[in-house]
Amino acid sequence: LELATALRRAVGDGELELVYQSRRTCGERRITGVEALLRWRHPELGVLAPDVFLPIAERTGRIVELGDWVLRQSLADLSDLSHRHPELTLAVNVSARQLISGRLTRTVTRALSESGVEPSRLVLEITETAFSEDPVAARQVLEELKALGVVIALDDFGTGWSSLHYVSCLPVDVLKVDRSFVADLPAQLRAGAVVASVLGLGHGLGLLVVAEGVEDADTLGVLQRMGCDEYQGFIDGEPGALADVLN
Ligand code: G
Ligand code: G
Ligand code: MN
Ligand code: NA
């Protein structure tokens, strides 16, 4: 309850922050983009991870306001560095409730025009829960976003109940293989089979496949040999300030 109250003030008081994680090609490890990750610098509790406060924000509806802030701030951050990194893409996580809030398309349109960033450089990361809650509304918003020229990624792919259904009928461009499968890659044949099948599916549909949670060179080596397109993970360091991540 206290967190819920404090969260109400967090946006206005400037307590929210973004850290960034790079996304790179598996082959040359060339940077192609960054993912914005939200943090809350709570005055007494210190830096809180989204797992601690996003469920509260979802429940209270505050997530819509937080999501607006994340979009505007991350696009402004990218815009500041665009002269040096004109090709870099920005991935932003969108929660289920935000997706079906009825105002996401308008918010994205406004944030893009304020920042001057090309729509094709913005990747919105969606999880399957959004579709299980309200498939009709979710689908319509995705169509609107696609019409703007924004890129759509399915996040945590493989962990939901009906991934195959969604990937076959929704306008999606990118599959992000959940890190639970990636973590077990070097040691576990089962994880290898799952990742191989996501790669086959994604490439069969003409999608870009990104592996999440790559922590070591062994794992990256396996992904390279399997033909995975891009990866993210602590192998490139902890998420940090945008300027640091790009150095
Ligand atoms: O950054 P971290 O690993 O702590 O993120 C934990 C979870 O929070 C992940 O599932 C991630 O997708 C989610 N997350 C991080 N930033 C945001 C954000 O800005 N909006 C939403 N909706 N989820 C986020
Ligand atoms: O669900 P989503 O993919 O948006 O989650 C992103 C979260 O995953 C972030 O909170 C980030 O801190 C975490 N993460 C990113 N890379 C790694 C990694 O290599 N290992 C682990 N354990 N977590 C990671
Ligand atoms: Mn994500
Ligand atoms: Na994920």
pLDDT tens digit sequence for 30-88:
999 999 999 999 999 999 999 999 999 999 989 999 999 999 999 999 999 988 999 99
CA–CA gap between residue 108 and residue 68 (Å, rounded): 8
The Å distance, Cα 117 to ligand 4 centre, comes to 24
* Cβ 51 under 6 angstroms from ligand 1: yes
- Counting other chains too, the contacts that 183-186 makes at CB distance below 8 Å and 24 or more residues apart are 183/213, 183/215, 183/219, 185/219, 185/222, 185/223, 186/216, 186/218, 186/219, 186/222
Task: Give residue 131's pLDDT band: very low, low, confident or very high (50, 70, 90).
Answer: confident
- pLDDT computed for residue 1 by the predictor: 64
Report the atom number in ligand 1 closest to the C-alpha of 125: 12
Residue of 128, 132, 133 lying closest to 153 (CA atoms)? 128
Report the atom number in ligand 2 closest to the C-alpha of 239: 12
Report the atom number in ligand 1 closest to the C-alpha of 49: 4
- pLDDT computed for residue 188 by the predictor: 80
Task: Give residue 235's pLDDT band: very low, low, confident or very high (50, 70, 90).
Answer: very high
- pLDDT computed for residue 167 by the predictor: 87
The Å distance, Cα 85 to ligand 4 centre, comes to 24
- Contact between 173 and 151 under an 8 Å Cβ cutoff? The reply is yes
* Cβ partners under 8 Å of residue 238, min gap 6: 19
- Residue type for position 178: D
Give the up-direction half-sphere exposure of residue 232: CA atoms within 13 A in the CB hemisphere.
24
* Cβ 54 under 6 angstroms from ligand 1: yes
CA–CA gap between residue 145 and residue 149 (Å, rounded): 7
The ligand that comes nearest to the alpha carbon of residue 124 is 3
* Cβ 145 under 6 angstroms from ligand 1: no
- pLDDT computed for residue 175 by the predictor: 96
* Cβ partners under 8 Å of residue 165, min gap 6: none
> Which DSSP helix (H) or strand (E) runs through 52?
helix 50-60
CA–CA gap between residue 236 and residue 23 (Å, rounded): 9
* Cβ 57 under 6 angstroms from ligand 1: no
- pLDDT computed for residue 77 by the predictor: 97
The Å distance, Cα 210 to ligand 2 centre, comes to 13
The Å distance, Cα 234 to ligand 1 centre, comes to 15
**Which has the minimum average pLDDT: 100-104, 145-149, 186-190?**
186-190
- pLDDT computed for residue 2 by the predictor: 86
Residue bearing the CA closest to ligand 2, atom 13 = 213
What are residue 24's DSSP bridge partners?
A: 31, 231
Instruction: Say whether the ipTM exceeds 0.95.
Output: yes
- pLDDT computed for residue 33 by the predictor: 98
Ligand 2 binding pocket (C-beta < 6 A) is 21, 37, 93, 125, 155-156, 179, 212-215, 232-234, 239
Superfamily (CATH) of domain 2-245: EAL domain (3.20.20.450)
Give the model confidence (pLDDT) of 3-27 as tens digits: 899 998 998 899 999 999 999 999 9
- pLDDT computed for residue 184 by the predictor: 87
- Contact between 77 and 68 under an 8 Å Cβ cutoff? The reply is no
Residue bearing the CA closest to ligand 2, atom 24 = 213
pLDDT > 90 fraction of the chain, expressed in percent and rounded: 79
